[in-house]
Structure 1
Amino acid sequence: MAIRYSIVIPTYNRAPQLLLTLASFETQTYQKQLFEVIVADDGSTDGTKEMVEGFQASYPLIYVFHPEQRGRSAVRNLGLRQARGLYIIFCDADFLVLPEFISIVSRYHRKYPKAVLSGFPYSWDNAYTHYYPGFSPEEKEHFRSTLTQSNVWRADFDTANDIIPLITPEDILRQTDALSKVAFPSRVPPNIKKQFASTDVAPWMLLVTRCVSMRRSHLTRIRGFNERFVLYGLEDWDLGYRLHRLKIPFYCIKEVVGYHQEHPTYLRGEVLNTENLKIMFETYGFNDSSLNLFALVPPSEDLETYKNTLRVLRRGIRSKLTRPSALLLRRTLRMAAKQFFQPNNTPAYKKTLQKIKKESMNRKSRVAHVLREMVLKSEKLVE
């Protein structure tokens, strides 16, 4: 039978977590001959190769690797080139999927066959599958609090210098209650989850590679990830943005399909990498306010303000009464993005902002209010 789903798992030195993730695919209710798992290794040095090659999978398991680390985009493309499925599911090495995962994705794709399906924001919860000596003091305190409530806290965690597993592959395979004792709700505020789920503006932000599925033909058409993105940040949204430009729809999977295996924050890297944002501006220019706004309101820092600003701008453009303010807002965002990308002629930039501020001073619409806020943020770019 033909492979329908290719699960691409990029990894770099995540062997303990990856082992559990691979075990979780053993429990899938979806027919195993209809999916394959491709581990794409970006030059790991922690025994990932030996672990994967020694894993006795009942599903097709493929291991490919880069001899040296080349970055998050390149390693995903490496896995993508091996894929045979009609659909590609990108799944992080630290995402522990539930048994119904592929079955749920398949059900959604039957309803939305050409869409991008995202596990966010409904699968944002976490689980402490391992103790890490590299946890920050705050992370260690949360770890202690979570495990104490479930009566699985051990005193030796305080002095441990090595990674300690709390969940074993056998727990996953036998579906014991061990996972429920170390799982905990995401600390992401409900309003942020609501904004992620909203697709009225910037729907492409749903493309978060922890858990996302789409047609392989769409990825082939846009040539996969942009390999200029080497460090953490924006490589997934860049891919989503290009798919959005093809008018491909985005939908949330509203069921919980897995848990993020918690690890020290420092392993994630910068949430907003400014060099990567400059690559986006260099690639797409400055004609899209949803990109220009990144320079003033990074969505990773304030998603609610980001999306509401785009909504106000869109409504403002549609109304004759507020269109002048909306056009000034659009102009302000474009100027700020250009200044962020390449500071040039700062006195002229400041002078223009002052002029825009003066024009908006006596306007009372919501658009004018947001315009003044964005002018203030634009001024801070050159302070």
Structure 2
Amino acid sequence: MKASVIMPVYNVRNLLKACLLTFKHQVLEHEDSFEVIVIDDGSTDGTAEVVSSMALNYESKYIYIPRSEHSSRSAARNKGIEAANGDVILFIDGDHLVPPNYINEHLRFHKAYDNFAIIGFRQFLSEGDTQVEKLAEGFSEEMYPPIKKIDERFQIIGQFSENFSNLSFAWYLFWTCNTSVKRNMVEKIGGFDEDFIYWGLEDSEFGYRLYKEGVKFAYSRESIVYHQHHEADEMDKILKWSQNYEIFRNKHSDMEVKMLEIMDIYKNAINKMNTMSWINKFTLLEYAIRAWKKGRTLDNISPTVHHLTGDLEESTIQKILEEAEHKPILIMDHSNEEMLDVRIQMHESKFDIKYYKGKRRV
């Protein structure tokens, strides 16, 4: 299986060099391969020279798009998709570092099941120098600055578990800093909507259209990426998110999209309602859509707890899935079964199956 890594960039030449070096150390199954497609969205900082000067041991492509009033992340990604020839389209930003198992973890899911979009998380690095020269030779934690902030979506896992089939709003978490989907599904929904010219939500809207086509979302705990520190105008990003949300809402009249207004930080700030944390807003959003679509509120039934160890028989798994039609289930998985989490996320049950992966047996 082949992965095409789609990477839009704009004036991040120094961060991009470190990013591309980390792809030199990917460890894949013998039959697998990948390509990295860098789409330069009109950079003026010498990005082209950096890319052309690098000696990479993997297939790569560089595409330059002149900057214009229509420039956008959506348009850049679509150019990359057009040039891709992989079975799986993997999205990442050019300011990230990837560990050696990054691509393999995404492909592992797609080999097992067809109709999935995979979501990985990121860690935010503190300000400091990445040891670019050493990254050319290998990858380790000593080569980049310490982690200063963890992905806010980890809080969602803490509350709703690793099982994204519990989430009515899993599509909102499809952020293109670390996600993948089969190429045929990308083509089916027509790629990214290029009307989204501001920052944010163009990827969630892409995820929403995948969701409407019946694609399920799975969380990959092992495909962590590392966001390199650089300055950003956070208030400008919040304002642009709000502008893109207006475009989103005008395109989709569904209640789920209208409910996203709960997450609109800009409008909440104007109305002096920005006191609720991000995770609390998402939780409110999630339970609101459950009540509206399924008539469900918080489960008041104590869950049955299953501690799974050893090699699992099919009958055991089926028994758990059947039990979830009658009451909530809590699974603590200590087994060596790598794909159990994905199998559970395929299953839609009346009650939640909360799934947490524990330490594997040695």
Same fold (TM over 0.5): yes
CA contact (8 A) 1:229 1:235 kept: yes
Cross-structure match for 2:321: none
CA contact (8 A) 2:124 2:226 kept: yes
- Give yes or no for the alignment of 1:106 onto 2:107: yes
Query: Partners in 2 of 1:310 and 1:224 — Cα distance?
Result: 26
Query: Helix, strand or coil: the match of 1:241?
Result: helix
Under a length normalisation based on structure 2, what TM-score does the superposition of the two structures give?
0.70
Q: How does 1:131-150 map to 2 (within 5 A)?
A: 131=128
Q: CA deviation digits over 1:139-167, x for unaligned, max 9?
A: xxxxxxxxxxxxxxxxxxxxxxxxxx332
Which residue, out of 164, 188, 191, partners 1:224? 191
- Give yes or no for the alignment of 1:284 onto 2:262: no
Percent identity reads 29
Query: Partners in 2 of 1:224 and 1:259 — Cα distance?
Result: 26
Query: Match of 2:209, as an amino acid?
Result: R
Cross-structure match for 2:35: 36
In 2 relative to 1, CA 46–241 (structure 1 residues): closer, same or farther, beyond 3 Å?
Answer: same
Cross-structure match for 1:20: 18
Q: CA deviation digits over 1:65-120, x for unaligned, max 9?
A: 1111511111111111100001100111112110011111111112223210010x
In terms of mean alpha carbon deviation, does 254-263 or 39-48 score higher? 254-263
CA contact (8 A) 1:7 1:90 kept: yes
- Give yes or no for the alignment of 1:261 onto 2:228: yes
Query: Partners in 1 of 2:136 and 2:187 — Cα distance?
Result: 34
CA contact (8 A) 1:206 1:250 kept: no
Query: Partners in 1 of 2:45 and 2:196 — Cα distance?
Result: 24
Report the CA distance between 1:224 and its aligned residue. 0.5
Structure with the greater alpha carbon radius of gyration: 1
Query: Match of 1:59, as an amino acid?
Result: Y
Query: Partners in 2 of 1:63 and 1:166 — Cα distance?
Result: 23
Query: Helix, strand or coil: the match of 2:286?
Result: helix
Query: Match of 1:290, as an amino acid?
Result: E
How many residue pairs get matched?
277
Structure 1 unmatched ranges of 5 or more: 132-164, 319-383
In 2 relative to 1, CA 24–187 (structure 1 residues): closer, same or farther, beyond 3 Å?
Answer: closer
- Give yes or no for the alignment of 1:182 onto 2:149: no
CA contact (8 A) 1:90 1:213 kept: yes
- Say what the alpha-carbon RMSD is for the aligned residues: 2.6
In 2 relative to 1, CA 297–180 (structure 1 residues): closer, same or farther, beyond 3 Å?
Answer: closer
Which residue, out of 164, 188, 191, partners 2:155? 191
Q: CA deviation digits over 1:187-235, x for unaligned, max 9?
A: 7385344468544312212311001111111111111100000110110
Report the CA distance between 1:289 and its aligned residue. 1.9
Query: Helix, strand or coil: the match of 2:233?
Result: helix
Structure 2 unmatched ranges of 5 or more: 266-276, 298-362
Query: Helix, strand or coil: the match of 1:36?
Result: strand
In terms of mean alpha carbon deviation, does 223-232 or 262-271 score higher? 262-271
Cross-structure match for 2:67: 68
CA contact (8 A) 1:238 1:280 kept: yes
In 2 relative to 1, CA 99–284 (structure 1 residues): closer, same or farther, beyond 3 Å?
Answer: same
Q: How does 1:342-361 map to 2 (within 5 A)?
A: none
Cross-structure match for 2:352: none
Cross-structure match for 1:311: 290
Query: Partners in 2 of 1:189 and 1:205 — Cα distance?
Result: 11
Question: Relative to total residues, which structure has the larger strand share, 1 or 2?
Answer: 2
Cross-structure match for 1:274: 242
Query: Helix, strand or coil: the match of 1:37?
Result: strand
Cross-structure match for 2:137: 173
Cross-structure match for 1:350: none
Query: Helix, strand or coil: the match of 1:262?
Result: coil
Under a length normalisation based on structure 1, what TM-score does the superposition of the two structures give?
0.66
Cross-structure match for 1:147: none
Cross-structure match for 1:367: none
Query: Partners in 1 of 2:232 and 2:31 — Cα distance?
Result: 34
CA contact (8 A) 1:23 1:169 kept: no
Cross-structure match for 1:348: none
CA contact (8 A) 2:122 2:178 kept: no
In 2 relative to 1, CA 230–195 (structure 1 residues): closer, same or farther, beyond 3 Å?
Answer: farther
Cross-structure match for 2:4: 6
